[in-house]
Amino acid sequence: MPVQAAPTAAAPAPATQAQPVAPPGGPAAHFHAAPPPPSAVQALPPTDAAAAPVPGAVAPTGTPTAAPAPALGMSMATPPDHPPALLPHDLSPWGMFMAAALVVQIVMVGLALASVATWTVWLVKSVELAMGKAKVRGLLRALRGATSLDGVLRALPAGRTDPAATLVRSAAAELEASRALPADGVKERVAISLNRIEAAAARRMMTGTGILATIGATAPFIGLFGTVWGIMNSFIGISKAQTTNLAVVAPGIAEALLATAIGLVAAIPAVVIYNIFARAIAGYKAELSDTSAEVMRHLSRDLDRAQARHVSHLRAAAE
C-alpha cells in the first residue's frame, strides 16, 4: 500500500514589516519610513490613495495640516476696505470749478462778476474822462485866446452841455441878469454858481468808482471765505475716508486756492484802477478850476469895461 505523503503545511507568508508611526507632536517633514522589502511590496494588494476614513478612528493631533495652496495668478494681499480716493482727472481751472462744492462755486461766480464789473467801469470811465478832459482843454484854450466872455459864448455850439460850456453860460447869464447891480455882488454870485457846477461835475465823474473801492476791499475776504470752505471740505473728506492720503486732501485744497486766486484777480485790478481814476479825476477837477478861473477873469474884465464905459458916458454927459 503506497504510503501517502503527509500534507505539508503551506509556508507562511513573510510578515510585512510594520510601518513606524511618527511620534506625537514631532514634525512630519523630518520623519522617514524604512522601505519595505521587495517581497512584501509584491504581496501587498494595491490600495486606493483616496481610501475612506475608518469610522470611529481618531485623527492624530500632533501632525499639522497643510493650508491649501493659493490658486495660480491670485494675489496673496487682500484689497483694503476703503480704497484711497483718486485725484480728479481734470485739474484745469474749469475742471476744479466744476468739481467744487456749491458754496465755493457761488463764491467763484461772484468774484468773476466783480472782476467783470471792474473792467467795465474802467472802460466806461476811461472814455468819459478822456472826452471830458478834451472838452475842458479845448474851451480853456478858447478862453485864453478870447478878449471877452461874450465872444466865447457866441463861439460855443448850441447843443453843447458839458461842464466847461455850462461854466461859460452860467457866468454870462448871471452877468446879463445883473446889469444894473454893483459889480462886487455879480462876481460873488458867479463864483458861487461856478463852484457848484465844478462840484456837480466832479460828483458825476466819480460815479461808478465807488464799486471799485468796494470790490478792492471785500474781494480778498470773499476769496478767503471760499478758501476756508474748501479746506473744511478737505478735512471732512479725510474723516470719511479715514486716511491722510494726499489724493483725498489735494482736491479740496486746490478748490480753496482757486477761490483765493480769483478773489485776488478781482481785488488787485480794482484797487489799482480806483487809484488811477482818483488821480485822473483830481486832474479833471483842476482843469475845471482853471476854466472857472478864466471865466472869472473874463467876467471881471467885462465888468470893468462896462464900468469904464459908464464913467465915460457920465463924463461926456457932464461936459
Closest to 170 in 3D by CA, of 144, 183, 152, 145? 152
Closest to 199 in 3D by CA, of 269, 94, 285? 285
270 vs 217: CA distance, rounded Å: 9
Q: What is the pTM of this model?
A: 0.64
- Given a contact cutoff of 8 angstroms between Cβ atoms, the answer to whether 266 and 111 are in contact is yes
Dig out the grid coordinates for 151 from the structure.
465872444
201 vs 170: CA distance, rounded Å: 14
Measured over the CA atoms of residue 87, residue 90, residue 95 and residue 99, the dihedral's sign is: negative
Q: How many CB atoms lie within 10 A of CB 33?
A: 10
Backbone torsions φ then ψ of 109, nearest 5 degrees: -65, -45
Closest to 240 in 3D by CA, of 254, 252, 226, 257? 252
113 vs 211: CA distance, rounded Å: 12
Domain extents in the chain = 93-155+162-318
316 vs 86: CA distance, rounded Å: 105
- Given a contact cutoff of 8 angstroms between Cβ atoms, the answer to whether 279 and 228 are in contact is no
Question: pLDDT 10s digit of each residue in the chain, 319 long?
Answer: 444 444 444 444 444 444 444 444 444 444 444 455 444 444 444 444 444 444 444 444 444 444 444 444 444 444 445 444 444 456 666 767 776 678 888 888 999 999 999 999 999 999 999 999 999 999 999 888 888 888 888 888 877 888 999 999 999 888 888 877 777 788 889 999 999 999 999 999 999 899 999 999 999 999 999 888 888 877 877 777 777 677 667 767 777 788 889 999 999 999 999 999 999 999 999 999 999 999 999 888 888 787 777 677 777 777 7
